[in-house]
Structure 1
Amino acid sequence: MRGSTGGVQRKIIDVYKNAHYVHCYAHQLNLIIQQATSHIPRIGTFFSDLGGFSAFFSRSHKRIAVLDQVVAHRLPRASTTRWNFQSRAVNTVYEHKDDLLKCFQIIRDSGNFDNSTVREAGCFVRMLEDEAFCFFLALFHKIMPNVDMLFNQLQKRNIDPVYIKAAVQGFTNNMQAIRDSIPFLCGDSASSDQQHQHKKRQRTLGPGEQQRLATEVCDTILIHTKERFSFTQHLVSATLLHGELFPQHSVTFPESALETTVEAYPMLNKAKLKTELSLIYENPEFRVGSGAVPLKIVLNEKLVQSTFTETVSLLKIIITTPMTTAESERCFCTLKRIKTFLRNTMTQDRLNALAMLSIEKKLVRDIPDFNKKVIEKFVNQKERRAKFLYK
């Protein structure tokens, strides 16, 4: 749907020249991590091996019984598109690495499993003892919490451009800090390997190679983050009103931001917009809040919409431009859960009602005795042979 040549985006822009396409920033983050890991063969191999842990146990209840007995924690499945699932897999394997190693050794040495299971368990034992796998596991155990944090922030309903920009900047700073700490991470891995060197025949990765691969991963994430989160022009406009309009120390009008704003929205009158923003910028009565919504409320309360027409138009654009598509995507996910193969013949009214109940389930749970009220209304609609109510 986001095709720039023949998709829905292109068809809308052909009619509305100034329309801005808003891609899901949470999905953009997934693409960033996917691109950062797919072009490095060693990293791709690591995540492929990581996905084998949950697949190994999911194929047999007998294996799951040993897992519950030794580790007492199920292994989450991994996903190539949603990296919060990969994060759960990384954290679980990292935190229960010793227990998993013991579990695989029990499966391999117990003699109660078939040859293929014993062979696979032996491979996982060697994998958990492998220097490269353990290093990448520790590296992504540091990276993934930051990915999860940004992923959750980008899916909130009440977010604005400045919030997104600050969240992405915080993610970039954390990734840069991880990149700067890579030499220490490689040093810890090297000292640990020297203590257990008698268990290994040869080193698969040296500290220099570890540092090079880890640096390449962090650099790729930083580069793709900068490219994919190069915000569209309406975000610059929001920054103009939110961050630069009411500075604490600066008294200079943000000329560059105004130029970018007018370039993004050519329907605005530049001269009049500058005059209105200059008055707002100098008047302390408009500094009661920060952001587009509080400023719009102040203008409405003072009944000056007809005076600040260009400012009001820009505020409406900023307020109504969505910063995330997570809510609309959840509607499609809800539809897939409701309209299943067995319910394929339901009417449109029933589908709409079930979708509303599923989407607004938090509101439904807050209604006291909701299930009881629904049952009473159902049984009182007409006379029925079965007695649903006992008086």
Structure 2
Amino acid sequence: MANENSIVAIHRTPFNRRSDVDKKKLKEMGPDRPDLKLEQISTDRGRTYKRSFSSSLYANRSWLAGCAVSNAFFCFPCLLFQCTGTEILWTTTGMRDLKHFTQKCKKHESSLCHLTNSMKLSLFGRLSIAEQLDEGYRIGIRKHNEEVRKNRHILSRIIDCIKFCGAFELALRGHDESESSDNPGIFRGLVDVVASLDGALKDHLDSATVFKGTSKTVQNELLDCMLAVVREKIISEIQSSDFLSIQADETTDISTQTQLVLVLRYLNGANLEERFFEFIPLQSATAATIAMALKERLAAILPGEQKVKLICQAYDGASVMRGTSSGVQKRIQDDYPTAHYIHCYAHQLNLIMQQATSHIVKVKNFFSDLGGLAAFFSRSPKRTVVLDKTVARRLPTASNVRWNFHSRAVNTVFEHRDDLIDCFERIRASDGFDDKTSHEAGGHIRLLEDPDFNFFLKLFHRIMPHVDILYAKLQNRNIDSVYINRCIQQFQEDIQKIRDSVHAMVVEHRSGSEQPRKRRAIDQDELKRIATEVCDTILGHTKERFAFKDHLISATLLDSPQFDHYLAAFPEVALATTLKAYPVLDGSRLKTELTLIYGSEEFRTCRGAVDLYQLFKDNNLSEVFSETETLLKIIITTPMATAEAERCFSTLKRVKTFLRNTMTQDRLNALAMLSMEKRLVTDMIDFNQKVIERFASLKERRAKFLYK
């Protein structure tokens, strides 16, 4: 991580935005003077001269600073104060011309701007002799600081109220925020409650004339400051991490505005983080528009040489996102070559189940009939009352996007079939329902008694729990490709067992069937064929869609059940593919480390990359297995699903509601950040103070918030 007096740190947090304590500390530290990798070759009169950096260049120039990132020289006083007319060569771009180094330094030293900035730096933090002798001045300073302390206390309480509303997704504004209003809003009500417990805040609210702190303008300014502080924290964590992945998805909010969510995934020390960063409004949901929006944000997050940190981009399977010629993933990879694409595995699981249940007519009709049961009750509260009394369980509505809803419907009907038949019979026997309702209830009774319907109900009652288990694992944040690879293998084994038992299931079903059916039944061979085809479709599509190819093949190198096989025959092809996908790895050392891991019993109990990475950290093995740890970081940082983006959409729907549909984009992002990253906000001990510092520096205020 960069030193506080480095050029990178000063660019990130300018001198005028720092507190007085930080400013004085920066002055005491002086300019950063690292060794620069700077070389220059020039030709003069047929002879070639090579000039390179020397630490002696810093000699006799107390104002000269260097930047190891940009490999350039800067002027420390000009960088801090930047009075009008200061040359950007010495503050922004940096000076790299070694041939004319001495001349440019002399010219800059004699400039008025440099002398002005140097004088300001020398006098900063010092008082004049008259001020030092003036007792009245010192008394004024004490009074000023006492007033600042009081104002900061009041503002901190107001910030706490806004944080509370944001964390619990409550609307701050009320219908009428005047003193006599009965509906001033949650924020004003919360401020009044806090004031009843804090005498200083109550006195301020009763007597304030300059700055009360409860206006909508102050709310918006504080929210902007909170958002900026949290984003700075997230960016600082990313800059200290080795790799970064992004997740993105788009939806339409209540005001029909297309919103693109950006989620960042990275390792913060030993902790895996998935952070919400921003909702980005889009004019159109085209690949060019989405890619441009993402590139703008990534440029601020990963400037310059840090582009190589971006190792993955995860989206859903929409063609605009996954297109290999002009899709978003291709456009991003053109600028970030190491940003490999991941098609969300949870989304692919939904596609697998859709394929397995839509191309077979009998199965498609089964799920259509199953959805009709829930639709029958959803259209009438009167019918629902009978359902609650008889079954005491609601029927989930089917969804083509979330297959866990289908699973809940299958399980509910399977477990409460007899109760549902009783419910429909009560509806038919009751005089309170019309003929159409009675007719539909009779149809549902015949459906629930139909052996073919019950066979498919039993079949999917056995299949769906395994789909639910895999789906739940894909929703977890702390997953990696190694762990998911093992979960997929287990899923395939479970579906294969069901396929192998199809014949016995059909025989058992036919032998247990009740009296003959009125409508034509499916014969035994046809039932077996359909059930087998369902299992084969799931297995085939799982093998095809979840096959680890290209960059994901790196996960197979650390699949512990394969260690014995790898010890006998090292996976050279997988290693070569991994090195091609991630050139940052040292192939020879990685092979040596993996060979050692394959032969050690201690590593065979790890369930995935996260467990193995934690084992390295707990036992101080990072230096021994440095390349393997780098590979683990890559695997862990690579997201296998975009579940966090979906969670962000849920927050979006709770924050921007029908009654709050005119909310500005900045306010939406701030409130969403306070909600989704509430733990991060809570863990930042100095969060309120940073917000106050930023709030005070926004503009000149009559109320005093900065200490002298």
TM-score normalised by L of structure 1 = 0.81
Offset, 1:341: 2.8
C-alpha change, 1:89 and 1:120, in structure 2 (3 Å) is same
Query: Is 2:396 the counterpart of 1:79?
Result: no
Cα distance between partner residues in 2 of 1:21 and 1:323: 10
- Residue of structure 2 in register with 1:97 after alignment: 417
Offset, 1:280: 5.7
SS at match of 1:21: strand
SS at match of 1:250: helix
- Aligned counterpart in structure 2 of residue 170 of structure 1, from 474, 481, 490: 490
Offset, 1:333: 2.7
Cα distance between partner residues in 2 of 1:363 and 1:91: 39
Q: Which runs of 5+ in 2 are unaligned?
A: 1-320, 684-708
Query: Is 2:639 the counterpart of 1:359?
Result: no
- Residue of structure 2 in register with 1:11 after alignment: 331
SS at match of 1:173: helix
More helix by share: 1
C-alpha change, 1:231 and 1:131, in structure 2 (3 Å) is same
Offset, 1:242: 5.0
- Aligned counterpart in structure 2 of residue 234 of structure 1, from 546, 551, 554: 551
* Amino acid paired to 1:254: P
Aligned ranges for residues 241-280 of structure 1 at < 5 Å? 241-243=558-560, 247=564, 250=567, 252-265=569-582, 267-268=583-584, 272-279=586-593
Say whether the 8 Å CA contact 1:245–1:281 is kept in structure 2: no
Say whether the 8 Å CA contact 1:90–1:140 is kept in structure 2: yes
Say whether the 8 Å CA contact 2:567–2:598 is kept in structure 1: no
C-alpha change, 1:125 and 1:364, in structure 2 (3 Å) is farther
- Residue of structure 2 in register with 1:317 after alignment: 634
What does the per-residue CA deviation read over 1:98-147, in whole Å, with 9 as the maximum and x for residues that have no partner?
A: 11111111212323211211111111111111122111111111111111
Of 251-260 and 310-319, deviating more is 310-319
Of 277-286 and 157-166, deviating more is 277-286
TM-score normalised by L of structure 2 = 0.47
- Aligned counterpart in structure 2 of residue 217 of structure 1, from 520, 534, 541: 534
Say whether the 8 Å CA contact 2:428–2:441 is kept in structure 1: yes
Query: Is 2:477 the counterpart of 1:157?
Result: yes
Q: Which runs of 5+ in 1 are unaligned?
A: 367-391
Query: Is 2:411 the counterpart of 1:107?
Result: no
C-alpha change, 1:303 and 1:66, in structure 2 (3 Å) is closer
Offset, 1:76: 1.1
C-alpha change, 1:136 and 1:155, in structure 2 (3 Å) is same
- Aligned counterpart in structure 1 of residue 658 of structure 2, from 317, 334, 341: 341
- Residue of structure 2 in register with 1:134 after alignment: 454
- Aligned counterpart in structure 2 of residue 35 of structure 1, from 338, 345, 355: 355
Aligned ranges for residues 47-62 of structure 1 at < 5 Å? 47-62=367-382
Query: Is 2:515 the counterpart of 1:196?
Result: yes
* Amino acid paired to 2:557: L
Offset, 1:335: 1.1
Aligned ranges for residues 369-388 of structure 1 at < 5 Å? none
Say whether the 8 Å CA contact 1:51–1:78 is kept in structure 2: yes
Query: Is 2:441 the counterpart of 1:121?
Result: yes
Say whether the 8 Å CA contact 1:23–1:324 is kept in structure 2: yes
Say whether the 8 Å CA contact 1:237–1:258 is kept in structure 2: yes
SS at match of 1:22: strand
Of 350-359 and 72-81, deviating more is 350-359
C-alpha change, 1:317 and 1:117, in structure 2 (3 Å) is same
- Aligned counterpart in structure 1 of residue 502 of structure 2, from 179, 182, 186: 182
SS at match of 2:341: coil
C-alpha change, 1:110 and 1:299, in structure 2 (3 Å) is closer
What does the per-residue CA deviation read over 1:66-124, in whole Å, with 9 as the maximum and x for residues that have no partner?
A: 11121121111111121100000011011111111111112123232112111111111
Offset, 1:156: 0.9
Offset, 1:363: 8.9
Say whether the 8 Å CA contact 1:258–1:274 is kept in structure 2: no
Aligned residue pairs: how many? 357
SS at match of 1:342: helix
Offset, 1:192: 2.0
Among all aligned residue pairs of Structure 1 and Structure 2, give the percentage whose two residues are the same amino acid.
57
Say whether the 8 Å CA contact 1:146–1:174 is kept in structure 2: yes
Of 160-169 and 234-243, deviating more is 234-243
SS at match of 2:456: helix
* Amino acid paired to 1:128: L
Cα distance between partner residues in 2 of 1:86 and 1:100: 17
C-alpha change, 1:222 and 1:115, in structure 2 (3 Å) is same
* Amino acid paired to 2:382: K
Cα distance between partner residues in 2 of 1:33 and 1:320: 28
- Residue of structure 2 in register with 1:44 after alignment: 364
Say whether the 8 Å CA contact 2:333–2:339 is kept in structure 1: yes
C-alpha change, 1:295 and 1:254, in structure 2 (3 Å) is farther
C-alpha change, 1:129 and 1:72, in structure 2 (3 Å) is same
Offset, 1:44: 0.7
Cα distance between partner residues in 1 of 2:374 and 2:562: 52
What does the per-residue CA deviation read over 1:181-214, in whole Å, with 9 as the maximum and x for residues that have no partner?
A: 1111111211122x422xx335411111111110
Offset, 1:4: 2.9
Offset, 1:233: 2.8
More strand by share: 2
Offset, 1:15: 2.2
Offset, 1:65: 1.3
Cα distance between partner residues in 1 of 2:371 and 2:399: 8
- Determine which structure has more spread, i.e. the larger CA radius of gyration: 2
- Residue of structure 2 in register with 1:65 after alignment: 385
Cα distance between partner residues in 1 of 2:543 and 2:413: 30
Cα distance between partner residues in 2 of 1:362 and 1:191: 58
Offset, 1:302: 5.9
Cα distance between partner residues in 2 of 1:189 and 1:201: 18
